[in-house]
Amino acid sequence: MKVVEETPYRFRIEREGAMRVPGIVFASHGLLPDVHGDKALVQVANVATLPGIVRASFAMPDVHWGYGFPIGGVAATDVEAGGVVSPGGVGFDISCGVRLLVAPDLDRVGLMPRLQAVMDRLDHAIPRGMGQKGVWRLLDRASLRRVLEGGARYAVEQGHGVPRDLDRCEDRGVLAGADGAAVGDRALERGLGQVGSLGSGNHFLEVQVVDQVYDAGTAARMGGLRQGSVCVMIHCGSRGLGHQVCTDHVRQMDKAMGRYGIVVPDRQLACTPVRSPEGEAYLAAMTAAANYGRANRQLLTEAVRRVLTAEVGTSLDLVYDISHNLAKLEVHDVDGRRRSLCVHRKGATRSLPPHHPDLPGDLAEVGQPVLIPGTMGTASYVLAGVADNPAFCSTAHGAGRVQSRHQAARGTSGRALRSQLETQGILVRGVSWRGLAEEKPEAYKDIDAVADISQRAGLARKVARLVPLGVVKG
């Protein structure tokens, strides 16, 4: 594999063999995965072989190895030119994403005396960990279907939230084209008892404080963010339902691929044309799972609001809710032509520029808020979309693992990690010691570098840096 530095923070994997386009990696020398030893770059090159892919197979600054596609990967295919959709390009946690809330009238100083009590209440109020738990326990499939087709909008219609929340959700809280009937029976079964739950792994709910502001005007317009503002960040996805949808459709596409004459270098890249029965079935089910993920974050929002209202008497305003595991049908200019594309973002955040028609009016001047969650002991970022993003309006989604879960847990005690975090003033409410150890900050890349390189590479610009005060984890 030949990798050349095109411009600062932009590396090109030369097209060779079956690659239809080059690979483009946005990174510093420090963040760039090892050209000889790291499987992530091989995956970037593999994705470049997909039928219909346009411009390049992109990797964000937090890229790392994943199932078929790298995590931190972006690939767009031309729908009218036989372009494919691939479940591996979305990932198992369909519509995994981040939601940021801000307390309009509470700062760090006001919260500190009540932080312990707030964390104890959240510990009780936030369902998490493996298995069947949730704010809602749906009794029948008809109501689950309303979640799948109505997303966060359905939750708000049921009284769980306020209409303004929807203005600050990607797609106003519901992605069109969902078909509850396209979701398999096993997926439905797994989804019934998990609506309004965090899950485990890197998912979290954090009470945070703004510790740095890079653009005060933008931070204010996004929702009154200023240094010292208390925030709540929720990072979770579509739980077992999304996982099962991915599993079902990878299997289906793996069997069907041959009929379309598609050959891929890795079976985990199983795909079929967007315009095929299998492609359309996957998109209908994926969209339903995405709506489940949005309803999930909406319900958790209401659970946190109840806690903060009761304990400190503050409300919470939604800054934004954005997915980082999704394939979307979008129109982009490619080589001077408007083209209908299937944009896969897997561990990559959509990042719309100012004045994009999909932004709510009050964000038109500043661009889309981009939410990048970090790790427990470090920081998270708010960025804003910029014009002329080279990667179909996408940027990084998190710190990006450098150690596997197994590596991270080996020789690390969850208890010791919690004590260390509490010494730093970060309260931890977990349910699994091993789960905690797997998420130690050292298992991840440097989030400050990821945000910085996202900005230097022209993917987004920094608005604010948030640090955790309390962590609720599965």
Partner DNA sequence: ATGTAC
Residues assigned a catalytic role: 397
Closest to DNA by CB, 153 vs 203, is 203
Closest to DNA by CB, 158 vs 247, is 247
Tokens at residue 338, please?
A: 């408007």
| 201 lies in the binding site for DNA (CB under 7 A) | yes
Rounded to whole angstroms, the Cα distance separating 81 from 76 reads: 12
How many residues bind DNA (CB under 7 A)? The answer is: 24
| 291 lies in the binding site for DNA (CB under 7 A) | no
- Helix, strand and coil content of the chain, in percent to the nearest 5, comes to 35, 25, 35
Q: What is the C-alpha end-to-end distance of the chain, expressed in Å?
A: 39
What are the C-alpha distances in Å from 37 to residues 32, 40, 167, 347, 403? 12, 9, 45, 21, 14
How far apart are CB 470 and DNA at their closest, in Å? 18
Closest to DNA by CB, 367 vs 373, is 373
Strand partners, 334: 337
SS3 labels along 289-321: HHHHHHHHHHHHHHHHHHHHHHHHCCCCEEEEE
How far apart are CB 334 and DNA at their closest, in Å? 31
How far apart are CB 375 and DNA at their closest, in Å? 10
Taking each helix axis from N to C terminus, what angle separates 239-256 and 277-312, rounded to the nearest 10 degrees? 170
- At residue 153, what is the residue type? R
| 202 lies in the binding site for DNA (CB under 7 A) | yes
| 141 lies in the binding site for DNA (CB under 7 A) | no
| 131 lies in the binding site for DNA (CB under 7 A) | yes
Of 35-43, 192-200, 261-269, 314-322, the window that binds DNA (rule: CB under 7 A) is 192-200
The closest of 31, 32, 13 to 23, measured between CA atoms, is: 13
Q: Provide the mask over 20-59, with x wherever binding to DNA is found by CB under 7 A and - wherever it is not.
A: ----------------------------------------
Of 164-172, 189-197, 256-264, 282-290, the window that binds DNA (rule: CB under 7 A) is 189-197
Alpha-helical runs (H) found in 224-276: 239-256
| 92 lies in the binding site for DNA (CB under 7 A) | yes
- Ramachandran area for residue 146 (φ above 0: left; ψ -120 to 50: alpha; else beta): alpha
Binder among 49, 77, 86, 194 for DNA (CB under 7 A): 194
| 86 lies in the binding site for DNA (CB under 7 A) | no
The closest of 469, 460, 468, 467 to 218, measured between CA atoms, is: 460
Are 272 and 173 in contact by the 8 Å Cβ rule? The answer is no
Of 75-83, 157-165, 216-224, 236-244, the window that binds DNA (rule: CB under 7 A) is 236-244
| 203 lies in the binding site for DNA (CB under 7 A) | yes
How far apart are CB 373 and DNA at their closest, in Å? 10
Binder among 46, 57, 95, 200 for DNA (CB under 7 A): 200
Binder among 83, 180, 237, 374 for DNA (CB under 7 A): 237
Rounded to whole angstroms, the Cα distance separating 290 from 344 reads: 13
How far apart are CB 239 and DNA at their closest, in Å? 4
Query: Hey, is 387 helix, strand or coil?
Result: coil
**Interface residues for DNA in 400-419 (CB under 7 A)?**
405
Q: Provide the mask over 428-447, with x wherever binding to DNA is found by CB under 7 A and - wherever it is not.
A: -----------x--------
Buried b (16+ CB within 10 A) or exposed e, 296-311: bbbbbbbbbbebbeeb
How far apart are CB 272 and DNA at their closest, in Å? 21
Are 469 and 215 in contact by the 8 Å Cβ rule? The answer is no
| 292 lies in the binding site for DNA (CB under 7 A) | no
Binder among 153, 160, 168, 190 for DNA (CB under 7 A): 190
How far apart are CB 86 and DNA at their closest, in Å? 15
**CA atoms within 13 Å, Cβ hemisphere of 57:** 28
Rounded to whole angstroms, the Cα distance separating 164 from 162 reads: 5
Site of interaction with DNA (CB under 7 A): 67, 92-93, 96, 130-131, 186, 189-190, 194, 199-203, 237, 239-240, 243-244, 247, 405, 439, 474
